[in-house]
Structure 1
Amino acid sequence: ETRGTFVTAMDMPKTIHDFYGFPRELYNQRYAAPGSEDLSAIVKDHVKAVELDYEWGLDHGSWSVLKHIYPLADIPVVQLSIDHFKGPEYHYELARELFFLRSKGVLVIGSGNMIHNLRMVKVENGDFNTEYGYDWAFELNNIFKNKIQEENHNALIDFSHLHDSARLAIPTPEHYIPLLYILALQQKGEEVRFFNDKVIAGSLSMTSLIIS
């Protein structure tokens, strides 16, 4: 758990394996992308709630996604932490202060899952990637997409009231909150494109989106 919001500020952030009980191959993964102390300093100057971090590095919320998009690790990467002790509205408002990054050519990625309940995972026919989910997971996945398309950010901030099963979909908020950071950077009327839109293993939504 992290108290406060930190941005990585080192030339070569290390790869962090912050998960437990997964195959050994995942713990052998390394993502040697450079950092950007200049960008970290700019973020701190613009967002007063942010502090510089010189120790943590890139955890799986960053490298597990970036290794597929930029497999050569040849772009500078700066990671922003999530304050576990703050609510969703706080994160949305903090993210609005990051809007200036869009005019600086910075790609902003919010990595997580709108539905993420590992305790209820159920793999169908031994294939983890087969589309399969509980009824409530499909229902919530569609509700999330509809609210995003409607630009109804207030409903998505107050996600616990979207559906009776919201607590099953989001038992802890750290995988959901990155979505709010991305929505906060959206300009009114901007196109949203969904991809990888499916529910797998019963209680995981892989649905992703691009705002441009």
Structure 2
Amino acid sequence: MTQIDPPQATSRQPVLFVGHGSPMNAIEDNAWRRQWQDLGRQLRSRPAKPRLILCISAHWLTNGWALTAMDVPRTIHDFGGFPQALFDQRYPAPGAPALARSISEQVRQPGIQEPLWLDDGEWGLDHGAWSVLKPMFPEADIPVIQLSMDYRRPPAEHLAVGRQLAALRDQGVLIVGSGNVVHNLRTMRRDAADHQAYEWAIEFDRVTAGHLAAGRTDALADFQQMGAVAQMAHPTWEHYLPLLYAAGAVGDDETPTFFNEGFQGASISMRSAIWG
């Protein structure tokens, strides 16, 4: 089995879960984006910056699990109704086809135990990826690979894939999950302040933060046990699933540091976390 690079003691990378919220956060001067910028400066100042970024975005759903494997991933504007300035955004980070092939050999799809599939042209970097990576790494000089999610599969299998990703951290890979701890667009209130949210949103965010702080990863995968609260927090759960990949890639001795705690529109949690 090949590896991306011989592991080095200084190359172990952190794990991030980023609440990305509105696509406008990519270009607006707000507290969320400023925190992404500050975090990026910290990561770039480490003795060993990432050799590769592996991003799991809420916005790429496939049958089975796939990796982008093109030389130059295109910038995907997978939204509508926003200003032209947002559609003008580009994130020209290179891809890494050889590294994608290496990762596909190291990670197996749950159930069928096949390597991850390789996508050499159809996808690229959707806004779940570039909207947070561009503020953090504006030079776009670190290769980026996206990992898709098979939405048909149960949450426990997404967590299982995340656990397989843990070994990549020692090969210089920064793992970034991009979604939201709470995500309900149907109930958004655009006039709400960042500290305002529905009671069910606050409850789901609080319980999830408790699981993360205590390292209860299996409980994270059982989020639907919260019943009506979980249903309100995630009418569909594609924005929750990236959290399972990030939490799965974390060691038992690692605890998260939370940042960007707050809400957009009363029903989107911006809570983010970094481990390691």
TM-score range, shorter chain: over 0.9
Cα deviations by residue, 1:94-130 (Å, 9 ceiling, x for unpaired):
22121211110111000000101111100226xxx63
Q: TM (normalized to structure 2)?
A: 0.72
For residues 67-106 of structure 1, what are the structure 2 equivalents within 5 Å? 67-106=134-173
Structure 1 residues 1-212: aligned runs within 5 Å: 1-49=61-109, 50-55=116-121, 56-124=123-191, 130-162=194-226, 164-212=228-276
- Secondary structure at the aligned position of 1:111 is classed as strand
Cα distance in 2 for partners of 1:57, 1:164 equals: 35
| Structure 2: unaligned runs, 5 residues or longer | 1-60, 110-115
Aligned equivalents of 1:210, 1:191: Cα separation in 2: 8
Match of 1:80, SS state, is strand
* Equivalent residue pairs, number: 209
Tell me how far apart the structure 1 counterparts of residues 82 and 224 of structure 2 sit (CA, whole Å): 29
Q: Is the Cα contact below 8 Å between 1:114 and 1:175 reproduced in 2?
A: yes
Report the CA distance between 1:205 and its aligned residue: 0.1
Mapped contact 2:194–2:262 kept (Cα < 8 A): no
TM-score by length of 1: 0.93
Specify which structure has the higher proportion of strand.
Answer: 2
Kindly tell me: are residues 85 and 163 of structure 1, through their superposed partners in 2, closer, same or farther at Cα, counting changes over 3 Å?
closer
Residue 86 of structure 1: how far off its partner (Å)? 1.1
* Alignment RMSD (CA, Å): 1.4
Does the 8 Å CA contact 2:68/2:147 hold for their aligned counterparts?
A: yes
C-alpha distance in 2 between matches for 1:159 and 1:6: 25
Deviations along 1:108-162, whole A, 9 cap, x unmatched? 000000101111100226xxx6332111111211111111111111111010113
Q: Secondary structure at the match of 1:139?
A: helix
Deviation at 1:19, TM superposition (A): 2.2
1:124 and 1:151 map into 2 onto residues whose CA distance is: 35
Q: Give the number of the structure with larger relative contact order, counting CA–CA contacts within 8 Å between residues 6 or more apart.
A: 2
Contact 2:96 2:143 in 1 (8 A): yes
Contact 2:163 2:250 in 1 (8 A): no
What secondary structure sits across from 1:194 in the alignment? strand
Find the aligned partners of 1:93 and 1:130 in 2 and give their Cα distance.
Answer: 33
Q: Percent identity?
A: 44
Q: What amino acid sits opposite 2:99 in the alignment?
A: L
The change in CA–CA distance for 1:207 and 1:32 in structure 2 (over 3 A counts) is same
1:25 partner letter:
A
